[in-house]
Amino acid sequence: MSDVGWRYHPDYRAEHILLRILRAQELCIEHFERAFIGRALYSRYGGSKNAGILNYTRQLLSEERVHMADALGRALRLAYTLSGGDPQMLEVTVLKREEDCLVLQIPADAAVPPGQMIEKRLSSLASALNISRSDIRQV
C-alpha cells in the first residue's frame, strides 16, 4: 500500500491518502488499524505532522502508535526514494543503528548514488526514531 497515492496531485496527496484509508470499507480492519495505516501513508507522502487532519488518528491511536506510524511512513519514503520501487536496491542496502546514529550503507556501485534527497529522507527517519544523527556510507 506504500504507493497507493501516485495518481493524486503531489500538493494534496498525503491528505487524500489519509482520508481514503480512514474511509476504506474494503480493508476489513478495525478503525485504529485504519488510523495507523493512514497515518503511516500520510507520513510516507510527506504530510505535515502538525496538520489538523491528523486529529482523527490521534483520537484512535496511543502516542506510541502515532510515533510508530510516523516512523514507518518515513522509512517507506526513504525506501521508495532509494529504490524507485525496485526491491533489488533494497536487498543490497543496509539500515542500522550505531549508538546515536542511524546508518545507511549503500553499495559503491549502486544505481542510485547517495544525494541530498536521500540524506534528507534518512535524517527525517532518524528524527522520527529519536536518533540524533544519520550517516550514509558507500561500501
Q: Tally the residues of the chain.
A: 139
How far apart are alpha carbons 27 and 40 in whole angstroms? 15
- Report pLDDT digits (tens) over 70-98: 999 999 999 998 888 788 888 999 999 99
- Report pLDDT digits (tens) over 35-82: 999 999 999 999 988 888 899 899 999 999 999 999 999 999 999 988
Burial call 31-43: b when 16+ CB within 10 Å, e when fewer: eeebbbbbbbbbb
Residue 74 C-alpha from the chain's centroid? 2
What is the rounded average pLDDT for all residues in the chain?
Answer: 89
